Amino acid sequence: MLKIGSIIFNGIFSENNRKKIEGFTIWSASIGFIFHLSLVLLNNNSIINLGNESLLLTNPISAIYTPFSIILYYEIFLLIFYLPRSFTTSILKQFEIISLIVIRRIFYDIPKLDLESSNWFENADNLQITYDLICILILFFLIYLFNYVKSNIDIKKAKNIDKFIDSKKIISVLLIPVMLVLFIIGLFNWYSIGISTNFASSFYYVNEVFYNTFFSILIIADVFILLLSFLYTERYSQIMRNTGFIICTILIRLSFSSTGLTNLLLIISSVLFGLLILKIYSLMNKIE
Range 247-272 average pLDDT: 91
User: Structure pTM?
Assistant: 0.86
Dist CA 35 CA 67 (whole Å):
10
The count of structural domains within the chain is 1
Is residue 181 domain-resident?
yes
| 201, pLDDT greater than 60 | no
Residue 204: the pLDDT is: 58
Is residue 16 domain-resident?
yes
The confidence band for 181, taking pLDDT boundaries of 50, 70 and 90, is confident
| Mean pLDDT value across the chain | 83
The confidence band for 276, taking pLDDT boundaries of 50, 70 and 90, is very high
The range of the structural domain enclosing residue 10 comes to 2-114+131-287
Contact yes or no for 33/68 (Cβ under 8 A): no
Is residue 122 domain-resident?
no
Dist CA 270 CA 209 (whole Å):
20
- Look at 129-133, 164-168, 215-219, 273-277 and tell me which has the smallest mean pLDDT: 164-168
Dist CA 163 CA 3 (whole Å):
9
Is residue 20 domain-resident?
yes
Instruction: Give exposure, 178-207, as e/b (b: 16+ Cβ within 10 Å).
Output: ebeebeeebeeebeebbeeebbbbbbbbbb
The confidence band for 114, taking pLDDT boundaries of 50, 70 and 90, is confident
Q: Give the best-scoring range by mean pLDDT among 6-15, 133-142, 155-164.
A: 133-142
Is residue 260 domain-resident?
yes
Is residue 193 domain-resident?
yes
176 closest CA partner among 96, 247, 83 = 83
Percent over 70 (pLDDT), the chain? 86
271 closest CA partner among 157, 140, 160, 169 = 140
- Positive or negative, the CA dihedral 144, 93, 71, 99 is negative
Question: Who wins on pLDDT, 8 or 157?
Answer: 8
